[in-house]
Amino acid sequence: MPETSLRIGPATENIRHIKEPFVSASRVDRQAAGAAPIFYNQIVQKPETIASAIRIGNPASWKQARAAIAESHGAIDIVSDEEIIAAQTWLARYEGIFVEPASAAAIAGLFKCCDSDEAAYSFKKIPEESRIVCTVTGHGLKDPDVIMQRMRELKPVPATVNDVQRAIDL
Protein backbone atom coordinates (compact mmCIF):
# COMPACT_ATOMS: atom_id res chain seq x y z
CA MET A 1 0.00 0.00 0.00
CA PRO A 2 1.27 3.51 -0.76
CA GLU A 3 2.62 5.53 2.15
CA THR A 4 -0.36 7.88 2.01
CA SER A 5 -3.94 6.95 1.23
CA LEU A 6 -7.34 8.53 1.54
CA ARG A 7 -10.51 6.81 2.71
CA ILE A 8 -13.81 8.48 1.85
CA GLY A 9 -17.03 7.27 3.43
CA PRO A 10 -19.84 7.87 5.88
CA ALA A 11 -18.84 9.57 9.12
CA THR A 12 -20.44 7.04 11.44
CA GLU A 13 -19.51 3.74 9.83
CA ASN A 14 -18.06 1.06 12.07
CA ILE A 15 -14.63 2.53 12.80
CA ARG A 16 -12.91 -0.60 14.15
CA HIS A 17 -13.58 -2.60 10.96
CA ILE A 18 -12.22 0.15 8.72
CA LYS A 19 -9.24 1.29 10.75
CA GLU A 20 -6.85 -1.68 10.46
CA PRO A 21 -6.32 -1.94 6.67
CA PHE A 22 -5.88 1.82 6.36
CA VAL A 23 -3.57 2.66 9.24
CA SER A 24 -1.90 5.47 7.30
CA ALA A 25 -5.12 6.66 5.63
CA SER A 26 -6.65 10.05 6.16
CA ARG A 27 -10.40 9.84 6.70
CA VAL A 28 -12.53 12.23 4.70
CA ASP A 29 -16.02 11.61 5.97
CA ARG A 30 -19.21 12.78 4.33
CA GLN A 31 -22.57 13.66 5.77
CA ALA A 32 -25.66 14.77 3.89
CA ALA A 33 -26.06 18.54 4.21
CA GLY A 34 -29.50 18.25 5.84
CA ALA A 35 -28.34 15.67 8.37
CA ALA A 36 -24.81 16.63 9.36
CA PRO A 37 -24.49 16.85 13.13
CA ILE A 38 -20.79 15.94 13.16
CA PHE A 39 -19.95 18.49 10.44
CA TYR A 40 -21.92 21.26 12.19
CA ASN A 41 -20.93 19.96 15.65
CA GLN A 42 -24.49 20.13 16.91
CA ILE A 43 -27.49 17.83 17.13
CA VAL A 44 -29.83 18.12 14.14
CA GLN A 45 -33.36 17.94 15.55
CA LYS A 46 -35.09 17.16 12.25
CA PRO A 47 -32.52 15.65 9.88
CA GLU A 48 -33.56 15.74 6.24
CA THR A 49 -31.91 14.00 3.31
CA ILE A 50 -32.83 11.54 0.60
CA ALA A 51 -30.19 9.19 2.04
CA SER A 52 -32.30 7.42 4.67
CA ALA A 53 -29.39 5.38 6.12
CA ILE A 54 -27.52 8.55 7.11
CA ARG A 55 -30.58 10.60 8.11
CA ILE A 56 -29.38 10.73 11.71
CA GLY A 57 -29.46 13.86 13.83
CA ASN A 58 -27.52 12.52 16.83
CA PRO A 59 -25.37 9.50 15.90
CA ALA A 60 -24.31 7.07 18.63
CA SER A 61 -20.75 6.92 17.26
CA TRP A 62 -20.24 10.70 17.12
CA LYS A 63 -17.22 10.72 19.47
CA GLN A 64 -15.58 7.74 17.76
CA ALA A 65 -16.03 9.31 14.32
CA ARG A 66 -14.51 12.60 15.50
CA ALA A 67 -11.60 10.75 17.12
CA ALA A 68 -10.93 8.70 13.94
CA ILE A 69 -10.96 11.85 11.81
CA ALA A 70 -8.56 13.61 14.19
CA GLU A 71 -6.23 10.59 14.49
CA SER A 72 -5.96 10.29 10.72
CA HIS A 73 -5.48 14.04 10.15
CA GLY A 74 -8.61 13.89 8.01
CA ALA A 75 -11.68 16.03 7.58
CA ILE A 76 -15.45 15.94 7.48
CA ASP A 77 -17.52 17.60 4.80
CA ILE A 78 -21.09 17.73 3.55
CA VAL A 79 -22.67 16.83 0.24
CA SER A 80 -26.06 17.93 -1.04
CA ASP A 81 -28.89 15.61 -2.00
CA GLU A 82 -28.36 16.71 -5.61
CA GLU A 83 -24.68 15.66 -5.41
CA ILE A 84 -25.72 12.32 -3.90
CA ILE A 85 -28.22 11.63 -6.70
CA ALA A 86 -25.68 12.61 -9.36
CA ALA A 87 -23.10 10.24 -7.81
CA GLN A 88 -25.62 7.38 -7.54
CA THR A 89 -26.58 7.83 -11.18
CA TRP A 90 -22.93 8.05 -12.30
CA LEU A 91 -21.97 4.86 -10.45
CA ALA A 92 -24.84 2.93 -12.02
CA ARG A 93 -24.30 4.31 -15.50
CA TYR A 94 -20.51 4.14 -15.77
CA GLU A 95 -19.44 1.48 -13.28
CA GLY A 96 -22.50 -0.78 -13.20
CA ILE A 97 -22.73 -0.44 -9.42
CA PHE A 98 -26.16 0.25 -7.94
CA VAL A 99 -25.80 1.70 -4.45
CA GLU A 100 -28.19 3.28 -1.99
CA PRO A 101 -28.03 7.08 -1.62
CA ALA A 102 -26.07 6.84 1.67
CA SER A 103 -23.28 4.95 -0.11
CA ALA A 104 -23.41 7.36 -3.04
CA ALA A 105 -22.51 10.13 -0.57
CA ALA A 106 -18.93 8.78 -0.52
CA ILE A 107 -18.71 9.09 -4.31
CA ALA A 108 -20.30 12.55 -4.16
CA GLY A 109 -17.54 13.44 -1.70
CA LEU A 110 -14.91 12.07 -4.07
CA PHE A 111 -16.29 14.22 -6.87
CA LYS A 112 -16.33 17.21 -4.52
CA CYS A 113 -12.63 16.63 -3.76
CA CYS A 114 -11.95 16.66 -7.50
CA ASP A 115 -14.07 19.64 -8.45
CA SER A 116 -13.99 22.11 -5.60
CA ASP A 117 -11.47 24.29 -3.89
CA GLU A 118 -14.05 24.61 -1.11
CA ALA A 119 -14.01 20.90 -0.25
CA ALA A 120 -12.75 20.05 3.22
CA TYR A 121 -10.05 17.93 1.60
CA SER A 122 -8.93 18.91 -1.88
CA PHE A 123 -7.05 16.51 -4.14
CA LYS A 124 -4.37 19.17 -4.31
CA LYS A 125 -3.30 17.97 -0.84
CA ILE A 126 -2.98 14.31 -1.86
CA PRO A 127 0.34 12.97 -3.17
CA GLU A 128 0.14 11.58 -6.70
CA GLU A 129 0.92 7.95 -5.79
CA SER A 130 -1.82 7.81 -3.14
CA ARG A 131 -4.56 5.20 -3.00
CA ILE A 132 -8.13 6.44 -2.64
CA VAL A 133 -10.78 4.12 -1.22
CA CYS A 134 -14.49 4.97 -1.17
CA THR A 135 -16.73 2.90 1.07
CA VAL A 136 -19.94 2.00 -0.79
CA THR A 137 -21.51 -0.89 1.09
CA GLY A 138 -25.26 -0.41 0.69
CA HIS A 139 -26.93 -1.97 -2.37
CA GLY A 140 -29.37 0.21 -4.28
CA LEU A 141 -32.27 -2.11 -3.53
CA LYS A 142 -31.83 -1.28 0.16
CA ASP A 143 -33.27 2.20 -0.51
CA PRO A 144 -34.67 2.27 -4.08
CA ASP A 145 -37.33 4.97 -3.68
CA VAL A 146 -35.25 7.95 -4.79
CA ILE A 147 -33.91 6.39 -7.97
CA MET A 148 -37.30 4.88 -8.81
CA GLN A 149 -38.89 8.34 -8.67
CA ARG A 150 -36.32 9.62 -11.15
CA MET A 151 -36.89 6.91 -13.74
CA ARG A 152 -39.22 7.72 -16.60
CA GLU A 153 -40.66 4.29 -17.11
CA LEU A 154 -39.88 0.77 -16.06
CA LYS A 155 -40.19 -1.80 -18.80
CA PRO A 156 -40.31 -5.46 -17.82
CA VAL A 157 -37.91 -7.55 -19.90
CA PRO A 158 -38.07 -11.33 -20.21
CA ALA A 159 -35.10 -13.01 -18.53
CA THR A 160 -33.35 -14.18 -21.67
CA VAL A 161 -29.99 -13.07 -23.03
CA ASN A 162 -31.47 -11.93 -26.35
CA ASP A 163 -34.27 -9.91 -24.73
CA VAL A 164 -31.89 -8.22 -22.26
CA GLN A 165 -29.39 -7.39 -25.03
CA ARG A 166 -32.19 -5.92 -27.13
CA ALA A 167 -33.44 -3.85 -24.16
CA ILE A 168 -30.01 -2.29 -23.62
CA ASP A 169 -29.36 -1.81 -27.32
CA LEU A 170 -26.57 -4.35 -27.76
Q: What stretches of the chain show up as alpha helix (H) in DSSP?
A: 15-19, 37-40, 62-71, 81-90, 101-115, 145-150, 161-167
State the pTM of this model: 0.77
pLDDT number for residue 122: 64
As a whole-number percent, the residues of the chain with pLDDT over 90 amount to 34
Domains of the chain: 5-143 (3.40.50.1100)
Question: Cβ distance 102 to 54 under 8 Å?
Answer: yes
pLDDT number for residue 3: 43
Average of per-residue pLDDT across 27-34: 86
> Among the ranges 16-20, 82-86, 129-133, which has the highest mean pLDDT value?
82-86
Instruction: Identify the band that residue 147 occupies on the pLDDT scale cut at 50, 70 and 90.
Output: confident
Distances (CA, A) of 76 to 67, 143, 152, 155, 164: 12, 24, 35, 40, 42
Q: Which residue has the higher pLDDT, 127 or 85?
A: 85
